[in-house]
Structure 1
């Protein structure tokens, strides 16, 4: 079943399709961009997202032909429309990702914090793509093998729709499948100035974080950089392992419902400290992040962000906070393939006798 634009379940009263006029391709919004939608704080918006797999030039920029070669004839109408459009994307200078937005949130000002809660993430197609490209991923120069520029593995959903089944490798009798855990790899706010950022490296604006904890029920907190915040979503995943070592995970289009809440600066500082970059909350964890081109420095930045959070939220001095982190907190590699690498920590809420919930309350 395909969730073409306007068809199938749409959870929120406000709906934003991924038509060519509602998306950026390869770049992220900046202050100079006009919103395609404006909402009040607390509004839920159902947003269609598009995977770039099957749309890119090295795949023919013809999703019908690309997927037909893999035995699939059902292709999203908005994917076909975008690939056939004259959408301004320079494949030599821009990233691959399609992002829907930006969405302005009334009253948002620099210094505030935007809380983006993933309420629901529905697959729009019954298949996804995992790609490895020459010079990219965790093993550039080593994979793909045999001088091949791009390897695209197409996995299909099983009858339950809850697991992905990879095609059998040549000569193998084993079938490999794994559970779906859908989430948007890109969630963010616009940057100041009039230059759109490249879609690949994440930053203080969020963007291509690829944190697989951002599934339904999780909230991402981002410091607002421009009036209206100008939020966006893209890079939809059906599943991803920490690290995302091949370059992409199981990439496939999602229909995502987001709730956009606004925390005034004073409230945000009281609850989270002086937030300078992305922070995630799940039902069980607070998740500070660290980002840098060097993975070791990304880890150090994540540790510092965790220390700041524990001090601001729970009044811990840094010596005790560091001891707690060393004894009780996992530091995970978010991804190593997006130019800027990422590390995120999982601080258990239960360790501080704090109730778990799935709301936007920090």
Structure 2
């Protein structure tokens, strides 16, 4: 299996001008090593968070050039395994996250990870291993890895975990795929501006799909299909995710917009991914049993 390490190359922004670290054919399964979102700068409680290098935040490992991926295609990314380190870190600080206006100083907390539990003081939190930053080169200018968009990026969607399949619109030749910012756990919203940040390794399979198009990333797991959208406000992101999903189902089924809208209001779900990045991210979730009843395939393979 091919492996891309952090020493192979990291990026701080997704950009079609980034030189790739490896070229692989469609269908490749590979392991990608990642730093945590602070580039492993906070390893002990004694580290002064305000004194770390804040220019080295949210590094993503890559980019990876996928052969045959061209603008207008879809990059299918199957997340086969997420392996994480033995400790995570969380931070809070002034002007960070939802409560940053009331927090007066930077604080960090080192959280041991043992026996599939995160130890927060005397509380044992369950693991929810997921990927915060994952995506491809954007269509136009570069986008900082801490900002989400149509290319993916810092979507901080807790559903991006083992067994999930992500579909990205390809904007640049080779797609230029990269990922980073693993979390041992993160709640919807990521309200403090950090999940349980952790270094690790991710095993993914990369496939190029021809003959179908996307405007924003989609996610599939065993039970649902999800449309993910990032926008300036949460309202805008949620409404656009909903409308894009409804219009895609209408396109794929040929059924009336009014009926699909009613079905989505009855059985679909509008949910929050994160509310703390430069853009807000929301998702619209549709159960697969309903798509089966509609005889609807959302992605052509």
- TM-score normalized by the length of structure 1: 0.76
Q: Equivalences for 1:153-192 in 2 at 5 Å?
A: 153-158=109-114, 160=115, 162-167=116-121, 175-192=122-139
Equivalent residues, number: 292
8 Å contact from structure 1 (residues 108, 224) kept in 2: yes
Alpha-carbon shift at residue 95 of structure 1 (Å): 6.7
Alpha-carbon shift at residue 251 of structure 1 (Å): 0.8
Alpha-carbon shift at residue 29 of structure 1 (Å): 2.9
When the two chains are superposed, the root-mean-square deviation of aligned CA atoms in Å is: 2.0
8 Å contact from structure 1 (residues 31, 226) kept in 2: yes
Query: 2:259 is paired with a residue of what secondary structure?
Result: helix
* 1:128 maps onto 2:113 in alignment: no
Alpha-carbon shift at residue 361 of structure 1 (Å): 7.0
* 1:349 maps onto 2:296 in alignment: no
Q: Equivalences for 1:309-320 in 2 at 5 Å?
A: 309-320=248-259
- Structure with higher strand content: 2
- TM-score normalized by the length of structure 2: 0.91
Alpha-carbon shift at residue 203 of structure 1 (Å): 0.4
Determine the structure 2 residue equivalent to 1:30.
15
Query: 1:288 is paired with a residue of what secondary structure?
Result: strand
Task: Give 1:284's match in structure 2, choosing from 218, 223, 234.
Answer: 223
Tell me which stretches of 4 or more aligned residues in structure 1 moved more than 6 Å.
Answer: none
Determine the structure 2 residue equivalent to 1:141.
101
8 Å contact from structure 2 (residues 25, 67) kept in 1: yes
* Deviation by residue 1:65-96 (Cα, 9 ceiling, x = unmatched): x42638xxxxxxxxxxxx9xxxxx8x4xx571
- Structure with higher helix content: 1
* 1:53 maps onto 2:38 in alignment: yes
| 5+ long unaligned stretches in structure 1 | 1-12, 56-60, 71-82, 84-88, 168-174, 269-273, 355-359
Alpha-carbon shift at residue 140 of structure 1 (Å): 3.0
Alpha-carbon shift at residue 181 of structure 1 (Å): 1.4
| 5+ long unaligned stretches in structure 2 | 294-298
* Deviation by residue 1:244-268 (Cα, 9 ceiling, x = unmatched): 101111110121001101111x2x2
CA–CA distance in structure 2, aligned partners of residues 97 and 306 of structure 1: 29
Determine the structure 1 residue equivalent to 2:296.
none
Determine the structure 2 residue equivalent to 1:257.
203
CA–CA distance in structure 2, aligned partners of residues 131 and 342 of structure 1: 21
